[in-house]
Amino acid sequence: MVTVKYCSNVVTAMKIIDEGTAQIVMHPVRFKILQCVREASGPLFVEQIAKAVEEHPRLVSHHLDVLQDIGLIDCKYGLTKAKGSTRGVAVRLCSPTPKLTEVFHDIAEAVAEVK
Amino acid sequence: MAKITWIKEFGKRVYLTFKLWRMVLISIVFLSIVSGTNLLFFLPSAMRWTLALVYVLLAEIMVFSIVRLITGSAGQIISSVFYNRKHKPEKRYFPEVKQIAKKMGMEYDKPILITENPSIKSPFTNVFTRNITFPAFWIRKFHRTENDAIIGHELAHIKYGLKFIGELLLVTFVTWGFALLLAAITWSLGIYVIAELAFMMLILSYILRRNELRADWEGPNANATTPEALISVFEYLKAECKRDDGSETHPPLQARIKRLIRLLDSDRQHQDD
């Protein structure tokens, strides 16, 4: 798996890759969300991601909408046991798509170019 | 050389940090009144000279900030006027604009001007012509929903345009009143002019910043745009700039984000109820 750290080089690389998807991915919060989703062993739901990236759940939800719109993550509604409830709660489960791996590969290449 | 860099950095910090900058303006007004009423002549000579030096330094910082204000915000409008003569901006109709405007309780049927002008770094509104100008790279940079949120922000500037012009007129009258008062007590024309400018900048900066916060609030408050989208834009811009100190016209991005997050929390509480 290609690992990319969000740093000033990434911001510089962003200026090189003048393409819609890369520009949208280079948002600091979105970048953290994508890394979180990529590194997770299974699908994650909004509250879990919000906790991991330390952002407001509604803000995370907005970013997930954007990322789903450009096809970087796949969202499905499923039942899970959340917040200690015994019954299943309907949550939005997010998992990475193959396009995400490609985009991260491109960014890694662009960062290497900047370095 | 290292010493000069340190002094430069210190000067930048004093100038950029708004609270200190506001203190600079307040000090100028205070010192002008003290000097103007001849209180200065009762002080020992060394103290008088020190005060004079401090006064000159503060005045320089203020003049620098006025130049920045003109070349910054007003400069964008002036630059676009000259640039648009040679390179006509693309006029693009966005169907969302009309809907957002309607939700915000106003009519707006104009196209958005998309410019390639390199000196335009962010979207802006000309309150007099009611035109919204976007730099071309901005449209590519953000998602559709985020561009909508920015349009909502700009539309709020148009909605409160008349009120804003009224506030500017009020500033002119208040400053004029202060100038008259100062003219009666001040013996030096230099002090009179500098104090008048400092007083004007103090009120103007407050009004401009409040205008921005009102525009941030207006779109989400009318349910025309989402606060999440606007927060997202601010977070992106915050990551791009090295220091987030705000300017004479705009509050720091972190403060604007915090204010919008409060709106998210209040909405959430409302939904839970």
- The complex's ipTM? 0.77
Q: Nearest to residue B245, comparing CAs of B68, B56, B29, B44?
A: B68
Q: CA of B236: which chain A residue's CA is closest?
A: A27
Contact A65 B145 (CB under 8 A): yes
CATH architecture of A8-114: Orthogonal Bundle (1.10)
In order of B76, B82, B84, B205, B237, the CA distances from B209 in angstroms are 17, 27, 28, 6, 18
The pLDDT of residue A18 is 47
Closest-CA distance of chain B to residue A10, Å: 11
Of B8 and A14, more confident: B8
Q: In which residue ranges of chain B is pLDDT below 70?
A: 1-4, 7-21, 34-43, 72-73, 186-187, 267-273
* Residue A11's pLDDT band (cuts 50, 70, 90): low
pTM for this entry: 0.79
Which residue of A58, A61, A72 to mutate against B (max B Cβ within 10 Å)?
Answer: A58
State the pLDDT at residue B32.
74
Higher pLDDT, B148 or A107: B148
Nearest to B201 by CA among B244, B231, B168: B168
- How many structural domains is chain B composed of? 1
| Residue A36, pLDDT above cutoff 50 | yes
Q: Do B232 and A29 touch (CB under 8 A)?
A: yes
How far apart are the C-alpha atoms of A73 and A65, rounded to whole Å? 9
Of A58, A62, A63, the CB nearest to B268: A58
pLDDT at res. A33: 92
Domain that holds residue B197: 2-272
Nearest CA distance, A25 vs chain B (angstrom): 10
A63/B232 CB distance under 8 A = yes
Residue with tokens 């210190």: B10
| pLDDT beyond 80 at A49 | yes
Q: Residues of B with CB below 8 A from A61's CB?
A: 228
- Nearest Cβ partner of B228 from A18, A28, A58? A58
Q: Which residue is closest to A26 within chain B, CA to CA? A: B236
Best of B137, B141, B143 to disrupt the A interface by mutation (most A CBs within 10 Å)?
B143
The residue ranges of every structural domain in chain A are 8-114
Is the model's pLDDT at A14 over the cut of 60? no
Higher pLDDT, B149 or A102: B149
| Residue A16 banded pLDDT, cuts 50, 70, 90 | very low
Which has the minimum average pLDDT: A25-34, A88-97, B9-18? B9-18
Q: Which residue has the higher pLDDT, A113 or A44?
A: A44
pLDDT of residue A45: 86
Closest chain B CA to residue A22? B141
- Residues in chain A with CB shorter than 8 Å from the CB of B147 are none
Provide, as residue numbers in chain A, all residues whose Cβ is less than 8 Å from the Cβ of B264: 56, 58-59
Per-residue model confidence (pLDDT) at position B234: 92
The nearest CA of chain A is from the CA of B176 a distance in Å of 46
pLDDT for B84 equals 76
**Residue A80 clears pLDDT 50, i.e. is over it:** yes
Strands (E), chain B: 90-92, 112-115, 124-126, 131-135
Beta strand pairing call for B112-115 and B131-135: parallel
